[in-house]
Structure 1
Amino acid sequence: MALINKIREKSGIAVTVIAISLILFMIGGDLMGPNSMLGGNNNQVVGEIAGKEINIKDFQGRVDGFRQNYEAQSGRSLNEGELASLRDQAWNQFVVDIAYKSQFDKLGLTVTDDELYDMVQGNHISPSILQAFSDPTTGKFDKNAVINYLKNLKTLPIEQQKSWENFEKSLREERTRSKYENLLRLSTYTPKAQAEKEYVAQNTKANLRYLYVPYFSVVDTTIKVTDAQLEDYLSAHRKEYKGTDTRSIEYVTFPVQPAKDDSAALYAEIKELARGLAAAPNDSAFASMNSDIPLPINMSLANMSDQLKEAVKTFVPGGVYGPYREENTYYIYKYGGTRSDTVSSARASHILIRAENQSDSAKAAARVRAEGILAQIKAGANFEALAATSSADPGSAQRGGDLDYFQNNGAMVKPFEDAVFSATAPGLIPRLVESQFGFHIIKVTDTKSNTLYRIAAIGKTIAPSQATRDEAYRKADEFVNSIKTKEQFDAEVKKNKNLIVATANRIPESSTNINAIKNGREIVRWAFKDDSKINSVSPVFETEEQYIVAVLTGKSDAKDVKVNDFRDELTTKVRNQIKAEQITAKLKGATGDLDAIAKKYGAGALVESANDISLATGFLTSAGFDPIALGKAFGLKAGQKSDVFTGENGVFIVELLNKTEAPKIADFTQYKTQLTQSLEGRTSYLVNEAIRDNAKIEDNRAKFF
């Protein structure tokens, strides 16, 4: 009997243990997760705005509301990118509700019901309503459509009624913010003294000569920079270096590349499709049904790959061509001839010169620089080389400025498009073209053509088999299990000739991409985990068509800025300081004219002239725009030579040959208007920055998503 009681006691304990285990299993994600109480973090605050904490539950509730509205309207579930965008919208909504609304309330700014009515169906329709209720074919707004929609609103599903309620709320917020920004914009004032100063800067002209020794004339390797010097510089300029929370990693990839068997199987399939395409009575329908990639039937040169552009020259109507391989996709084409289209295509290259800011003086300086480059090209300089070194468009600069083919359908900004499509022959457009992006120097490489090629195309992508994927993972897993430290990581990479180490520096905590790797969020989250230490090795991550193993190589802390956070920038600054001291010491006390001083200095010293320049548009041939040098020059008297001084990118001695003062005028309205309009154009940006800075926003979303 005692034994039976003991068994009963033990079985009760066992049942209890099992029950607790089941409960922990079911809610373990909430209790044991990285942001849970039992997981070592009871902080459920997703951020703070103007001293108010945003709880994860409240934040997620707003995201869920946005998601429900979106899915109700689109009729489908969101992908990860769209969900991330909704999280941004939800966060920005909290910023508006807390940081902006407090400013609106202080000024008593509201939007009344009558005003909202006027925006929706009155005499001053909101642009958002105009867009939502315009005929998609004619673009004409129909007020009756709005009225009919509102009459029937209560008969619509609850989701749509809620969606309209949120839409009206956004209209109120948009109008309130517009009122606030207009209030500040209309308070913009430019004093007469400032307008007069701008007039003088633009219209006082000078001719000067200068001796210039650029920093790059002194070889970097001859200058030793110590950590102590970097520390001293950082301490003296700490306000210039704002800290951020970042991580740096090194990583290797194990790509999931289709094997020969995968490629051979697809090649056989597409050859069979080629026979079907040739015999199909409706080739476009056959192509559409069998292609992995949606491809247009009518193509211009702007729509074609480089390979197809060359191949189409040899096509004969009715023929089937291919397969052509581009990366992991095979293509076959059935050619149906050409026809003319109302839309034309052309090919061009450009060099973009941007102003440093939106001020008139900065724009004028950018124009002077662009005109100088255009003059060099006209004189025979290589367009592609200048594009690579001077263009502010990084995407095209690395291709010598080439923009490939594009159509005259708004693909480019209008001034650029008009210039290219008005050209009658390939070649350099002999004038600058200005757009909102800056000044363009354009070379047309293929003039406009309105030829459309009818091509029924099938594209089939090689998909790696499961066996191929398993093999790539096996290699990654074998690699990561053989290492524990950075030293072992380096040693294994050195032994394996197929592995290439890539580096990603200063990754922000909110980043979703790592270099060219998309969907690298899990790697970023690993790098920011508290238990991820410097030199620790990650597990195997799967992203896109590859497996990745990373090692954490660096951390930066927003609240504790260190030399390593800005080592390259600081090293350049300190090195240039040392160079300036060396150059100055060599030039100090030199006598004679500038040519004699330059000769005595030796290699690296340049003597140049700058004629008819102003403080607003002063551009020095080799030194570029150097405000320090310009200020020194305009502060001299005619015939006077400055002492040695340090400029932006080198050391100078400046000699003012002559200066023509700006003529006296009584009315500075033109310059006052210029400055006021420039400031008004930046009001929205400046207001946004000021409110956000004042709110001391702390965004911790990256710890949760």
Structure 2
Amino acid sequence: MGIMSFLRNRMGVILVVVIGLALFAFIASEAVQYGRSFFSGDRTTVGEVAGEKISYEDFNKRVEFNEKQYQQQFGQNLTPQLVSYVQNMTWSQNVSQIILKKEVDKLGLVVGEDETRNMISGPNPDPEIVRNFSNPQTGQFDRGQLNQFLSAMQNAPGADEMKQRWSQLVASLIDTKKTQKYLSLIRNGLYVNSLDAKDDYEAKNKLANFKYVALDYSTIPDNKVTLTDGDFQAYYDEHKAAFKNEQELRTFKYVSFNAAPSKADSAAIKAQADKLAADFKTTPNDSLFVQINAVNAAYKAPLAFLRKGQLEPKLDTVMFNASKGFVYGPYLSDGSYKVSKLVDVTVGPDSVKARHILINPQLTGGLDKAKAQADSLKKLIQGGKPFADLAKTYSTDKGSAEKGGDLGYFGRGAMVPQFEEAAFTGKKGDLVVVTSQFGVHLIQIEDQKGSSKVVKVATVDRPLTASSQTQSAAFSKAQSFLSAANSDNFEAEAKKMGLQVKTADDVNGLAVSLPGLENARDMVKWGFGAEKGALADKAFTVGNQYVVPKLVEIKPEGILPLEVVKKQIEPAVRNIVKAKQLSEKLQGALNGASSIEQVAQKVGTSVVPVENVVFANPILPAVAQENKLIGAVFGSQPNKLSKPIEGEHGVYAFVVNGFVNPAPLTNAVRQREQIGQALLQRADNQIFDALKDKANVKDYRAKFM
């Protein structure tokens, strides 16, 4: 198909790809790390990376551009979740570009002209070039299409928008190539030696057999343990690194007032749907009726014949056993009352083999001229001219043109509706001219296989929404609560009104949704501008609820203070105190004992035998992971009673019966390769984490977005 048409239809894909090209592959699923307090930064800076500021204006332009391209590509309005996704992807792009550019420039890495040319048009083009210049119907790379486009870009003026977009794509390919070179330098420095291979082999294959006794922490009731400030401080000091908060987090408590549709609202909408059903039965123009009355844009798309199993379950059986003109509904589905009509029913082929010649109206001077050319080609074919020869000469779908226009066999749903309608309703040998978003097609039906019943169903809908009266009643309740509540009596007033107080823990500054609350962005933004203990002065509209929040906790970025994590670490601290008591008890039993059975008898428990445990999988059967215990086992001599080992679930003593050594390692090369592959899989994430820590990334987006 024509290059300009191709790009207008595919440029969305290209530009969405551009967003990701500058990113490491390994940060695609990484949660973005946020910066300092909400109040940090200035009014024009959305973030800083390695001291380089990212202005809000520049960042917002990128976000708006990427949102527009995403919307064009997927043909839908962006939900708050998708907006957040695009914003985070744009942020990741900015951060990675700055970090990588500094590293690449420092090392003097470049991509030469020959390398660039090879990435675009060499024997093995970059995967992004292949992906974006592939025939959409065959999936095959179309080199002719690429060459035609490159020629057009060479002659285009510098201010041409398409040329500028192409330059952006090429620049991103070069950046990606530099990134690959940078990573390759680091990866090539990773090395696994024979000793590493031997240690790994033994850790996975050497078996330990031992017996142990255990005193579980649960044997001491929690209320019998007194925790001191010193206990908490000692644990906190030893594990301080675990309390590093990468981003500021805030915790809310909130009450909500339900404004969901009432029974009366549902009945009123059902009545509207009943009227739609009656009118749908008598309308002389089903297509126009749907265009006027359908709310969901998907129902306004051109109708196509569907086979059994392609309709939603409520319709599938009904429509395949009904007569043309049958109206079903109203029925409730996906939050809407719907009415569906069987517009047509027929028996058609399951698959079709066809070929086509695609004519681009933009290259022929308009749609009418494109249709006229298709009609002329049709007459030539009917007069004896070979279809394949004309396809190779005239079709702008170069991928299929090289094969004489052949598209092979395809089933229902594989082609655009207009193309599919012509291919499946025509007869073998027919020549048909149809128009789609790709241009004008001259189709020849070469073969049809199978036969099954298919139906064409039209649907109109009425979303189930709350009435103004229902919304007003819920809003009034929220206002009554606000007038009575303050930061001190929030929970008491909620209890008085029979409201459940819910908690949203550790919310980040860019959160869009909270547990049970979709699109709560305004509420989150309020919380990141409020002081601890503040109660909102208004009810936030979140979906079909009015929500009144209170900010109850702020966890700043950095090492969290002891008072913030005290509740979190209390179970671990309590177990440490219990461990001291149980260790003393177990040590007393070990003193003078000559066997593990004597130890068990003294402490009133039983001996547990364990067989075939490996160091690489430190699981105590029927208990859980016990790293300290299994590590101690593999560091012990057989037939020697151990000292008390303080584990995750209790205190242990053991004796090793013996070890079973594996057969000698005969293929150290393969073992090294396996370890090396695992090392490489971790390396990319660890590289970027290190670079990001060094870059001191600061994210102030919460106060802008």
**TM-score, length of structure 1 as denominator length:** 0.69
SS at match of 2:546: strand
Q: CA deviation at 1:703?
A: 1.9
Which has the higher mean CA deviation after the structures are superposed, 537-546 or 154-163? 154-163
**Partner of residue 570, structure 1:** 569
Change (3 A) 1:633 1:232: closer
**Partner of residue 250, structure 2:** 247
Give the letter for the 2:633 counterpart: A
C-alpha distance in structure 1 between counterparts of 2:221 and 2:286, whole Å: 65
Matches for 1:651-690 after TM superposition, within 5 Å = 651-665=651-665, 667-690=667-690
C-alpha distance in structure 2 between counterparts of 1:550 and 1:299, whole Å: 50
**Partner of residue 491, structure 1:** 492
Change (3 A) 1:76 1:648: closer
Q: CA deviation at 1:679?
A: 0.6
C-alpha distance in structure 2 between counterparts of 1:326 and 1:601, whole Å: 64
Q: CA deviation at 1:133?
A: 0.7
Quick check: 2:512–2:520 contact (8 Å CA) kept in 1?
A: yes
SS at match of 1:485: coil
C-alpha distance in structure 2 between counterparts of 1:616 and 1:339, whole Å: 62
Q: CA deviation at 1:553?
A: 0.9
**% same residue:** 28
**Partner of residue 361, structure 1:** none
Q: CA deviation at 1:697?
A: 0.9
**Partner of residue 337, structure 2:** 330
CA-to-aligned-CA distance 1:395-446 (integer Å, 9 cap, x gap): xxxxxxxxxxxxxx9xxxxxxxxxxxxxxxxxxxxxxxxxxxxxxxxxxxxx
Give the letter for the 2:477 counterpart: K
2:150 is the counterpart of 1:150:
yes
Quick check: 1:209–1:607 contact (8 Å CA) kept in 2?
A: yes
Q: CA deviation at 1:47?
A: 1.6
Matches for 1:403-482 after TM superposition, within 5 Å = 459-482=461-484
C-alpha distance in structure 2 between counterparts of 1:474 and 1:454, whole Å: 47
Quick check: 1:229–1:574 contact (8 Å CA) kept in 2?
A: yes
2:175 is the counterpart of 1:173:
yes
Change (3 A) 1:43 1:508: same
Give the letter for the 1:263 counterpart: S
**Partner of residue 27, structure 2:** none
SS at match of 1:460: strand
Q: CA deviation at 1:93?
A: 3.3
Change (3 A) 1:134 1:262: same
**Partner of residue 6, structure 1:** none
Q: CA deviation at 1:330?
A: 3.3
Give the letter for the 1:634 counterpart: F
C-alpha distance in structure 2 between counterparts of 1:132 and 1:562, whole Å: 51
Quick check: 1:341–1:452 contact (8 Å CA) kept in 2?
A: no
C-alpha distance in structure 2 between counterparts of 1:290 and 1:198, whole Å: 67
Change (3 A) 1:151 1:238: same
2:275 is the counterpart of 1:272:
yes
Residue number among 188, 207, 212 corresponding to 1:205 in the alignment: 207
Matches for 1:57-456 after TM superposition, within 5 Å = 57-64=57-64, 66=66, 80-153=80-153, 155=156, 158-226=160-228, 229-243=231-245, 244-275=247-278, 292-293=295-296, 294=298, 308=314, 317=322, 323-325=330-332, 328-331=335-338
Q: CA deviation at 1:212?
A: 2.9
Q: CA deviation at 1:281?
A: 9.1
**Partner of residue 531, structure 2:** 532
Change (3 A) 1:297 1:656: farther
C-alpha distance in structure 2 between counterparts of 1:556 and 1:102, whole Å: 32
Quick check: 2:81–2:512 contact (8 Å CA) kept in 1?
A: no
What are the ranges of 5 or more consecutive residues in structure 2 without an aligned counterpart?
1-38, 352-412, 414-451
Q: CA deviation at 1:522?
A: 1.6
Change (3 A) 1:276 1:608: farther
Which has the higher mean CA deviation after the structures are superposed, 613-622 or 220-229? 220-229
C-alpha distance in structure 2 between counterparts of 1:342 and 1:584, whole Å: 74
Change (3 A) 1:328 1:227: farther
Quick check: 1:72–1:159 contact (8 Å CA) kept in 2?
A: no
**Partner of residue 703, structure 1:** 703
Q: CA deviation at 1:521?
A: 1.6
C-alpha distance in structure 2 between counterparts of 1:337 and 1:566, whole Å: 66
C-alpha distance in structure 1 between counterparts of 2:270 and 2:104, whole Å: 65
Give the letter for the 1:253 counterpart: S
C-alpha distance in structure 1 between counterparts of 2:608 and 2:348, whole Å: 55
Change (3 A) 1:641 1:76: closer
Q: CA deviation at 1:134?
A: 0.6
Change (3 A) 1:594 1:453: farther
**Partner of residue 552, structure 1:** 551
Quick check: 1:316–1:337 contact (8 Å CA) kept in 2?
A: no
Quick check: 1:251–1:502 contact (8 Å CA) kept in 2?
A: yes
Q: CA deviation at 1:304?
A: 5.5
C-alpha distance in structure 1 between counterparts of 2:541 and 2:71, whole Å: 28
Change (3 A) 1:304 1:600: farther
C-alpha distance in structure 1 between counterparts of 2:197 and 2:349, whole Å: 52
User: What do you get for the CA RMSD once the two structures are aligned?
Assistant: 3.9
Q: CA deviation at 1:135?
A: 0.9
Q: CA deviation at 1:670?
A: 2.3
Give the letter for the 1:691 counterpart: L
Quick check: 1:332–1:458 contact (8 Å CA) kept in 2?
A: yes
Give the letter for the 2:337 counterpart: Y
Give the letter for the 1:208 counterpart: F
Change (3 A) 1:76 1:517: closer
Count, aligned residues? 554
CA-to-aligned-CA distance 1:139-163 (integer Å, 9 cap, x gap): 1001111121122235488332222
Q: CA deviation at 1:86?
A: 4.0
Which has the higher mean CA deviation after the structures are superposed, 330-339 or 318-327? 330-339
Which has the higher mean CA deviation after the structures are superposed, 685-694 or 229-238? 229-238
Quick check: 2:346–2:453 contact (8 Å CA) kept in 1?
A: yes
CA-to-aligned-CA distance 1:505-554 (integer Å, 9 cap, x gap): 1111222222232221221121121x533243442211222211111111
Change (3 A) 1:134 1:598: same
Give the letter for the 2:95 counterpart: V
SS at match of 1:250: strand
SS at match of 1:188: coil
Change (3 A) 1:40 1:238: closer
What are the ranges of 5 or more consecutive residues in structure 1 without an aligned counterpart?
1-38, 344-408, 410-449
Give the letter for the 2:528 counterpart: F
Change (3 A) 1:239 1:40: closer
Change (3 A) 1:556 1:592: same
**Partner of residue 587, structure 1:** 586
C-alpha distance in structure 2 between counterparts of 1:291 and 1:72, whole Å: 22
SS at match of 2:624: coil
C-alpha distance in structure 2 between counterparts of 1:70 and 1:532, whole Å: 37
Quick check: 2:241–2:559 contact (8 Å CA) kept in 1?
A: no
Change (3 A) 1:55 1:480: same
**Partner of residue 371, structure 1:** none
Quick check: 1:297–1:457 contact (8 Å CA) kept in 2?
A: no
Give the letter for the 1:262 counterpart: D
2:643 is the counterpart of 1:643:
yes
Change (3 A) 1:320 1:73: closer
Give the letter for the 2:118 counterpart: D
SS at match of 2:181: helix
**TM-score, length of structure 2 as denominator length:** 0.69
Which has the higher mean CA deviation after the structures are superposed, 672-681 or 67-76? 67-76
